[in-house]
Amino acid sequence: MFDAGLEAVVTKKGGRGRSVEGIDRFDLAIRELDARPGDRILEIGCGSGEALLRLSLQAPGLDLTGLDRSQVAIRRAGARLARRNPGGRVALIEGELPGAGGPRGLDRIFAINVNRFWIRPDGLFDDVLSRLRPNGLLLLVYEAPGAEKAVEIRKKLLAATRRPDLRLDEPAVGSDPRQLCIKGVRAP
C-alpha cells in the first residue's frame, strides 16, 4: 500500500538494465503503482508500450491509456499490444503535455525516463495534476546513466514538485541511486 508523500526507491544495478533484485525500471514502476482492478491509469511517454503491456498482463481489469508525442512510438505500441495481449484494453493517444487530449479523473499517472519533468517542467505539472483525482498517485521512474545524473534529476524534480497541490517528502537515498522512483499524491 502506498504511504502518501514522496519517496525514492533505489535499487542496485547488476548489469544490463536489471537490479540485483531482478527489478528493471518497468517492473519497478508496476510494483510501485500498486494498481487495482478498475483503476484508471495514464502512462506519459509510453514509447513502444512495454510498461502498458506488462501492466495489462499482470493486473487485468485496468483502464489503461498511453500517451506519446511520437507517431512511430504509438504505432509500435499498438502493434505490440495487439500482438501480445489481443484481449487487453489499452487506449493510445498521440500528443504531448501540456495540452494533449485524454482522460481526466485518473487514479494513477506514471512516466518512465521522461526527461521533460526535470528539464522543462513549465506547465507540465499543472496539466498532469489536473488529470489526477484528489489523492491520485503521480509516479516518476528514472534509470539514470550514473549516480551523479540521478542526483541532478532528483534535485530538479524536488524543485519542480514543491507545490501546494502535491504532497511531498524528501526522497530516501540508497547506496546506489541510479534507479530512482519518486511518488507524490495530489492534495484533496
Span 2-6, mean pLDDT?
26
Q: What is the pLDDT of residue 81?
A: 92
Using the predicted structure, report yes or no on whether residue 8 has a pLDDT greater than 50: no
33-56: pLDDT as tens digits: 989 999 999 999 999 999 999 999
Q: Is 14 inside a domain boundary?
A: no
For residue 3, the 8-state DSSP code is P
23 vs 67, more confident: 67
Q: What is the pLDDT of residue 73?
A: 96
Q: Is 104 inside a domain boundary?
A: yes
Residue 13 near residue 19, CB atoms below 8 Å? yes
CATH number of the domain bearing residue 105: 3.40.50.150
Using the predicted structure, report yes or no on whether residue 22 has a pLDDT greater than 50: no
55 vs 176, more confident: 55
Compute the distance between CA of residue 125 and CA of residue 90 in angstroms, rounded to an integer. Answer: 24
Residue 95 near residue 46, CB atoms below 8 Å? no
Predicted TM-score (pTM) of this structure? 0.84
Using the predicted structure, report yes or no on whether residue 13 has a pLDDT greater than 60: no
Q: Is 20 inside a domain boundary?
A: no
Range of the domain at 153: 25-186
Q: Is 9 inside a domain boundary?
A: no
Kindly state the cell numbers that stand for 166: 502535491
Q: Is 16 inside a domain boundary?
A: no
Using the predicted structure, report yes or no on whether residue 130 has a pLDDT greater than 60: yes
**Residue partners of 19: CB distance under 8 A and separation at least 6:** 11, 12, 13, 28, 179
| Average predicted confidence (pLDDT) for the chain | 82
Residue 79 near residue 50, CB atoms below 8 Å? no
Using the predicted structure, report yes or no on whether residue 14 has a pLDDT greater than 70: no
Compute the distance between CA of residue 106 and CA of residue 145 in angstroms, rounded to an integer. Answer: 31
Q: Is 5 inside a domain boundary?
A: no
89-122: pLDDT as tens digits: 799 999 998 888 889 999 999 999 999 999 988 8
The domain tally of the chain equals 1
Q: Is 10 inside a domain boundary?
A: no
Q: Which residues pair with 22 in a beta bridge?
A: none
Q: What is the pLDDT of residue 170?
A: 53
Compute the distance between CA of residue 53 and CA of residue 23 in angstroms, rounded to an integer. Answer: 16
Phi, psi of 24 (to 5 degrees): -90, 180
Span 77-100, mean pLDDT?
87
Q: Is 125 inside a domain boundary?
A: yes
**Least confident stretch, 9-13, 53-57, 127-131:** 9-13
- pLDDT-based confidence at 64, cuts 50/70/90? very high
87 vs 138, more confident: 138
